[in-house]
Amino acid sequence: MAKEFNVAVAGATGAVGVEMLKTLEKRNFPIKNLKLLASARSAGQVVEFKGEKLVIEEMTENSFKGVDIALFSAGGDISKQFRKSVVDAGAVMIDNSSAFRMEAGVPLIVPEVNPEDIKNHNGVIANPNCSTIIMLVAVAPLHRAKKLKRLVAATYQATSGAGAKGMSEMLTQTQQVLNGEAINPQVFAHRIAFNLIPHIDAFTDNGYTKEELKMLNETRKMLHDDSINISCTCVRVPVMRAHSEALNLEFADDITPEEARAILATAPGVTVVDDIANKVYPMPVDATEQYNVLVGRIRQDISRNDKKGLDIFVAGDQVLKGAALNAVQIAELL
């Protein structure tokens, strides 16, 4: 009989936690016992999983006895607080926050990109930033074939990146704008309805935000190459839950759009959506609730005098591939 695992989901009531449960059920992960953990405020709520009713428990230091895999999506401070309890209990923490991503000895994993890194864990495996995941699923196969030298990204990030509250704020504000009512932003720095905000996470001394630097540092870590030059501008857009990104790529070797399409056509986790004659290209509305990252608008960079540059456009579900699905795929890899 196939081995079954005792699984805990920490942050089970959040947007990503809810999606983790759906993904575990949909992919039929081999679960023996499932423990749902959250704050005291959510304890006692009842959630259905595979037709069974499960009661959410308050997360404590003793919650992880007998647990094999703990999927965390409760925020970085909570992950740091419970790390020792999880590891001491003999469980493996798969953490969705930014708490441990750049820590030496903690593998940062996208299963389609660097599955071999998983064997080096010491009880903690980090899930990368959602924008980095969606980007690298598309870029890594091209990098393997032609060696990436430089990447310039502009992201169009959905409100789901700020959790259920972010999505709710967009819907509320949209209604308020249409009704001519006053708007009082709570989650975002400015009004998000019918607007773009070129500001995600805190600004740093060099003028880049932490989100933009995450994409730089995490990409280098996962591709094991600190020589790749990366510059990002991260923008929040009034979209529900799929991120899009415009990527300008420079490679060491020549690459044509035809070659890129052929490479991406067989790449795991990628769907090539690139038929401009019929107005077919990646859009967040089509990427929503899809496991794969959509890649299209693949074209030669005409600002160059050689064949080493490409422009591509990608879209991927932030809640799924950008978070919950990737975490469950790491658990499957384990």
- Active site (catalytic) residues: 130, 243
CA-only gyration radius of the chain, Å: 20
CB 256 within 8 A of CB 300: yes
The answer to whether 162 touches 170, Cβ cutoff 8 Å, is no
CA-to-CA distance for 183 and 294, rounded, in angstroms? 34
Tell me, what DSSP letter sits at residue 120? Answer: G
Q: Is the dihedral of CA 293, 215, 324, 27 positive or negative?
A: positive
* CA dist., res. 10 & res. 159, Å (int): 22
The owner of tokens 């965390």 is 72
State which H helix or E strand residue 180 sits in. none
What amino acid occupies position 132? Answer: T
Give the chain's end-to-end CA distance (angstroms, integer): 18
DSSP for 51-107?
A: TEEEE-EE--TTTTTT-SEEEE-S-HHHHHHHHHHHHHTT-EEEE-SSSSTTSTT--
